[in-house]
Structure 1
Amino acid sequence: SHDFTLEWPQILGFFGKLGRRIALLVSQNSTNEQVTTSEITPCPRAIPGEKATINNVTYLLIHEATCSQLSSVVTVRLIPCLYTLVFLVGLPSNALALWVLATRAEKLTSTVFLMNLAAADLLLVLVLPFKIFYYFLGNNWPFGEGLCRLTTAFFYGNMYCSVLLLTCISVDRYLAVVHPFFSRSFRTPAFAVCTCTAIWLCAAILTLPLTLQQQSYPLYGVDITLCHDVLPRHEDDGYYFYYFTCLITCAFLVPLVVMLFSYCSVLRALLDSGKRYSYSMKLTALVLFTLVAFYTPSNVLLLVHYSSYNSKLYGDLYISYMVSLAISTFNSCADPFVYYYVSEDFREKVRRRFFTSSPAPCSQGTHNIQWG
């Protein structure tokens, strides 16, 4: 009797666990729901989520500590306001720059690069309304999976395409200033067109993986669909890790080194020439400053995200990264003013275009347009 009394709580506990297990199995079978979650592994940028398949619909489950970030004031108010400002300033400025360069400027090598830069910035700005609506709706994507993939690919593709074109402009300036006689034979508009074509193809290839992977997922328990901001921990996490690392290296770090070398060489050559180039030196310094100020924070945060185990698991850098990513789009607004509107020659062409009926002859000024 004494032994039976000691074992009785264990027997009750056993049958209690068995009953709960049977009730769980019956509940799952009756509702025809099958829930599977993946193993926790390092995840790409933004917030990591666990995949859950319920009634043949794949949902994402996120840590409750990070769920509040999706509805924070920074996410649903500040970020879309920043994108709205970029859209309102970048659309007319880049459209006007592209129009004037295409219709009034002499077709030189630098003109081709500047036209493509304005086109890349304009395409980036045209994608922003989708992201603006997405964040204002509380991180809810109503446009479907296909448009989510295209928007994500166009956003990153045109952003890094602008960086590559800025690199080409810096190399073109380096060759024109430091090696003018050596580069005269191949610095032609036709060569610039071929180079820009290669850059557009490179940008398309770099962003192609984003169009091949699912980017939008409904969030479990909340009636919203996320687009790229929350990505699942699954068997392709290593794929995303190497993809973003390659993207940052090829489309930002290497171009940044090339631009620093090119512009430092140009500055040194101009300094050796005397004070009459002081305006060009200030403009060159301004170009470097805008590039570093706008693009470096988001790329650095992305690298820090990969090196931090806690950020990989819970997405602690989500808000910081998304704000810095929105700030990086301001470079699309700065490009027209830095490369075009600081030039009196460009402003004169705009005045002639709008306020005179007869076209004025093209001046020597695409180099003037770029460097004043």
Structure 2
Amino acid sequence: MRITFTQPKLMEQLSPVTAASVWPENSSVFPTFDPSEWEMIYTILPPYIFTISLLGLLFNGFVLAVFAAHRDQLTVPEIYLSNLALADFLLLCGLPFWGMYILNRFNWSYGEALCKLVNSMIAINFYTSSYTLVMISVDRYLALVKTMKARWLRRTLYAKVICFILWLLGVLLSMPIIVHRKVKFAEEFNTTSCVLDYAHGSYWKLAHQIIINVVGFVLPVLAIVFSSWNIIKTLAQRMESGGFHDANNTKATVLVYAVTLLFLLCWAPFQIFTLLDTLCDVKVLDETLWFHTLNIGGQVSAYLGFLNSTLNPLLYIFSGQYFRRKVSIIYRRARHQRRGSDMTTYQRSVVSTYFNRTEQIKPVVIFNPKDQM
């Protein structure tokens, strides 16, 4: 990803996007550039980032609260969905820092520790989200295709262990960000920026972009396609043979497909621009011709990808039958408790009134003529 102002090499490193591309130091050809386009980015991107961050944190926080309220009754798919919501929530926690960074014209004022933490958190949660989707698809595959043979694999304990492993994998794959993100002062622009500081001639950048494309996208997509194809084929065979058809399983599978399709639509453009950037680096494509496209397209595609984290919870709410049922249970439970609390207050009021009235009753002496005798 490139962000350039007058000297391409520095500004493209300032990009929040992890797939930062570095213009060759020994190049004497610098493409033309229209500063008004970046003025538009400075104006549009920060409000957009703040908006999707706020909405995404609210939506994902609501989903996590619902799952937490039923934490002892979660199924395996719900454990994976809660892990996906957690990854989206943490990713969105880091975006406001980038909104302020862009708003301040790429001046980073939060220190090197946060520079590494914010960027690595975004990358870790991207990888965790990708492979959580893989596990959701694999779980549907085991539930519908290998129903009897793999029942022992679909245990909640195993799902929790797998989620923990996915977070470790995300940390491992994000090591290039953790190592190479640094805060540096750029004399040319008088800015202190959080940059991807790849050494000249280093293979870290190329390896990093290959990891983003292959490990972060191609392999998960292949696994999801394999699972989905077998699920569709199995369901079609059962319908043709007139076998047992579980409507609940079908609805759960549709939700999985919807979440996966949204992920592909949001992140595929960013992956394409990352691939194009890599092809420019290895001289397969002419960097001069593609420079402008990678500049603007890379920025737009990156923040389209982050939109995925905001939209995911809406799919759970509007397409997830079991999720809506859990929300309904929480609502009824809260309503019942409120009614119980109101009844208790009423009862206390009656008792208090009774005792107050009892204390106000004065003893009455009835004259008995016999007492005078």
Partner of 2:343: none
2:222 equivalent to 1:257: yes
2:313 equivalent to 1:336: yes
Partner of 2:66: 100
Q: What does the per-residue CA deviation read over 1:166-201, in whole Å, with 9 as the maximum and x for residues that have no partner?
A: 111110111111111011112111111111111110
Between the aligned partners of 1:203 and 1:312, the Cα distance in structure 2 is 34
Q: 1:117 aligns with which of 80, 84, 88?
A: 84
Work out which of the two has the higher radius of gyration on C-alpha atoms and give 1 or 2: 2
Between the aligned partners of 2:302 and 2:189, the Cα distance in structure 1 is 26
One-letter amino acid of the counterpart of residue 96, structure 1? F
Partner of 2:353: none
Alignment partner of 2:74: what SS? coil
Q: Calculate the aligned-residue CA RMSD, in Å.
A: 3.2
The question of whether the paired residues in 1 share the 8 Å contact of 2:66 and 2:326 is answered with yes
Partner of 2:323: 346
Partner of 1:139: 106
Alpha-carbon deviation of 1:355?
5.3
Partner of 1:192: 159
2:47 equivalent to 1:81: yes
Change (3 A) 1:255 1:314: closer
Between the aligned partners of 1:48 and 1:343, the Cα distance in structure 2 is 43
Between the aligned partners of 1:108 and 1:280, the Cα distance in structure 2 is 12
Alignment partner of 2:22: what SS? strand
Change (3 A) 1:73 1:264: same
Between the aligned partners of 1:286 and 1:346, the Cα distance in structure 2 is 15
In the alignment, structure 2 segments of 5+ residues that lack a partner are 1-6, 240-244, 338-373
Between the aligned partners of 1:233 and 1:114, the Cα distance in structure 2 is 39
Alpha-carbon deviation of 1:152?
1.2
Between the aligned partners of 2:291 and 2:171, the Cα distance in structure 1 is 28
Q: 2:277 aligns with which of 292, 305, 312?
A: 305
Between the aligned partners of 1:242 and 1:196, the Cα distance in structure 2 is 26
Between the aligned partners of 1:148 and 1:187, the Cα distance in structure 2 is 39
Comparing 153-162 and 310-319, the one that deviates more:
310-319
Q: Name which structure has the greater RCO, CA cutoff 8 Å, separation 6+.
A: 1
Q: What does the per-residue CA deviation read over 1:97-141, in whole Å, with 9 as the maximum and x for residues that have no partner?
A: 111112126232222212211111110011111011111222222
Q: 2:125 aligns with which of 150, 155, 158?
A: 158
Q: 2:35 aligns with which of 68, 78, 92?
A: 68
2:214 equivalent to 1:240: no
TM-score with structure 2 setting the length = 0.73
Between the aligned partners of 1:339 and 1:184, the Cα distance in structure 2 is 25
Identity over aligned residues, as a percent? 24
2:304 equivalent to 1:327: yes
Alpha-carbon deviation of 1:96?
1.0
Alpha-carbon deviation of 1:252?
1.3
The question of whether the paired residues in 2 share the 8 Å contact of 1:49 and 1:231 is answered with no
One-letter amino acid of the counterpart of residue 241, structure 1? L
TM-score with structure 1 setting the length = 0.73
Partner of 1:128: 95
How many residues are matched? Answer: 308
Q: 1:216 aligns with which of 183, 186, 197?
A: 183
2:213 equivalent to 1:272: no
In the alignment, structure 1 segments of 5+ residues that lack a partner are 1-36, 52-61, 360-372
Alpha-carbon deviation of 1:315?
4.8
Between the aligned partners of 2:75 and 2:65, the Cα distance in structure 1 is 16
Between the aligned partners of 2:251 and 2:126, the Cα distance in structure 1 is 28
Change (3 A) 1:318 1:265: same
Change (3 A) 1:288 1:352: closer
Between the aligned partners of 2:48 and 2:108, the Cα distance in structure 1 is 18
